Chain A
Amino acid sequence: MTLLVLPGGKYGAFIWPAYAVSVIAFAWMILDTILRARRWRRRARELEDERRRES
């Protein structure tokens, strides 16, 4: 399996950074999206609870 041979011959120095940067970009997109969604959902629910308590 090519994957196990890994280095990619004399072009390995170009192939693996391309895959590494793709993994980093996906990791950033997924983490940032999840954290953003959680933060604003939590904030909106806190404010909704606050309003319910006051009314």
Chain B
Amino acid sequence: MFAALANPLRFMAFSRWAAPLLGAAAAVAIGVGLVFGLEAPPDYQQGQTVQIMFVHVPAAWTAMLAYACLGAASFVSLVFRHALADQAAKAAAPLGAAFTGLALITGSLWGRPMWGAWWVWGDARLVSVLVLFLLFLGYLALRASIEDEAKSARAGEILALIGLINLPVIHFSVEWWNTLHQGESILRKGGPALAPVYLLPLLLMGAGYSLAFGALWLARTRAEVWKRRATSLALQAALA
């Protein structure tokens, strides 16, 4: 499937219907997740702040998904010199930055009433997610600062691939170090630690955020394809 979509014409035909379809599925999943989430009872320890979980955790998951997509697209672009993969990488970065920023802000709003602090520099989970945010911003700044498109792509790809090291660090930070941030509560031995009344809306919101990222990623990649086409036509017109 991915090989077929490597053709820009096929990708444009596919994404034309896939992006709105994913967007609609995202809206349904987020809508239902919100209804269940806002009706969930207060947690015995965290009270009603547990409702922040339904926007914070999906944002953090999607931020990591966005970086994995940025890394994968950068790898394909670097190895196969594929223009569409580079456009996909460029399209993923601003969305990833937005989801990571969202995870940091909502996490801070959850941390203040629970830990008594907006931010804790000694916490490995918090700092590794901040590093992820800086990687997205660094990628965007690097791409914007180099005028030569090929050089800009190579520099971005190398940064994106180096930054992939941060993904397992984020995931395992709560196991490798003592952190204020709570430990793994979904993908752990013995099953999820969350009661179904919290788990269901969380999974729905997680699916909704991921689908929304998918829809927006496809739409932004389409915009990058149009941009490249316009730039190429403008160049041809100038040379004629």
The chain A residues found within 8 Å of chain B, CB to CB, are 1-3, 8-12, 14-15, 17-19, 21-22, 25-26, 28-30, 32-34, 36-37, 39-41, 43-44, 47-48, 50-51, 54
A19 and chain B: residue at smallest CB distance: B55
A48-B56 Cα distance, complex, nearest whole Å = 44
**Per a CB cutoff under 8 Å, which of A9, A14, A47 touches B109?**
A14
Residues B101 and A3 in contact, CB atoms below 8 Å apart: no
Say if the beta carbon of B51 comes within 8 Å of chain A. yes
Number of contacting residues on B, CB 8 A?
Answer: 41
Seen from chain B, the residues whose Cβ lies within 8 Å of a Cβ on chain A are: 35, 38-40, 42, 47-49, 51-52, 55-56, 59, 94-95, 98-99, 101-102, 105-106, 109-110, 112-113, 212, 216, 219-220, 222-224, 226-227, 229-230, 233-234, 236-237, 240
A-B contacts, 24 of them at CB < 8 A, read: A1-B39, A14-B49, A18-B55, A18-B56, A18-B105, A21-B105, A22-B102, A22-B106, A25-B98, A26-B212, A29-B98, A29-B216, A30-B216, A33-B219, A37-B219, A37-B222, A37-B223, A39-B223, A43-B227, A43-B230, A47-B230, A48-B233, A51-B233, A51-B236
